[in-house]
């Protein structure tokens, strides 16, 4: 399947609001291939020469519904720079049927707001999410069921992608009457 900016479903298409269904495990060849293609999109989208040539928008994650497939499949690659002398930390996941099993009361949000491959217009405002989440699911990168204990940016990315399974887009979380609320005791990223 060709995945690029032209083939990704945008938020004006009602299909993006469809609920995604769990996939049988072990993964079928079709589901494994799709998950690998989603992952390749994310990987290539951060390489400027490939991204320009293949019409890819930069991404840290993409879910199957964004290419019109209502299945609980998502690929995430998050690069976090370490403190001072620490090297970059990279989290790589190809997840099937991931679900949030716990989340913190403490909240977090991206100061600059969130974006999405399926949303071309800017939507100003804070998308307030849990600062920490625990996600369980099957990971094709490791070939096994995993538990991810995520905090900060990675937690936000995972929540964003898993929202796609419910037909929720990031801007659904923005309060139109108060897009920049004060969020006590929250982590601003």
Domain holding 66, by residue range, is 14-188
Neighbour tally for 147: CB within 10 Å: 10
What's the whole-number mean pLDDT along residues 146-152? 98
Provide the domain count of the chain: 1
Q: Does 71 fall in a domain?
A: yes
Q: What is the pLDDT of residue 46?
A: 94
Residue tagged active-site, from 32, 54, 120, 161: 161
Q: Is 161 a catalytic residue?
A: yes
Whether residue 177 is contained in a domain is answered as: yes
Interval 9-46: pLDDT, tens: 999 999 999 999 999 999 999 999 999 999 999 999 99
pLDDT at 84: 66
Does residue 1 lie within any of the structural domains? Answer: no
Q: What is the pLDDT of residue 88?
A: 86
What is the pTM (predicted TM-score) of this model? 0.96
55, 45 Cβ separation under 8 angstroms: no
- Report in angstroms the alpha-carbon separations of 38 from 35, 48, 77, 133, 148: 5, 18, 11, 23, 20
Please check whether residue 162 lies inside any domain of the structure.
yes
Residue 168 inside a domain? The answer is yes
Joined tokens for residue 61: 């994650």
Q: Find where tokens 């993006």 sit.
A: 16
């Amino acid at each position: 399947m060709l995945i690029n900016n032209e083939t990704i479903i945008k938020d004006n298409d009602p299909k993006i609001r469809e609920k995604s269904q769990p996939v049988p495990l072990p993964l079928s060849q079709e589901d494994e291939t799709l998950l690998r293609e989603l992952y390749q999109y994310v990987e290539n989208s951060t390489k400027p020469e490939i991204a320009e040539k293949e019409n890819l928008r930069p991404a840290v994650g993409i879910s199957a519904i964004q290419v019109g497939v209502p299945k609980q499949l998502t690929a995430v690659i998050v690069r976090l720079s370490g403190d001072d002398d620490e090297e970059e930390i990279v989290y790589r996941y190809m997840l099937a049927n991931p679900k949030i099993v716990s989340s913190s009361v403490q909240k977090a949000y991206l100061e600059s707001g969130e974006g999405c491959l399926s949303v071309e217009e800017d939507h100003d405002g804070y998308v307030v999410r849990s600062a920490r989440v625990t996600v369980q699911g099957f990971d094709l990168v490791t070939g096994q069921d995993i538990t991810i204990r995520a905090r900060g940016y990675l937690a936000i990315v995972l929540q964003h992608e898993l929202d796609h399974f419910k037909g929720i887009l990031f801007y659904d979380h923005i309060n139109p009457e108060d897009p920049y609320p004060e969020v006590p005791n929250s982590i601003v990223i």
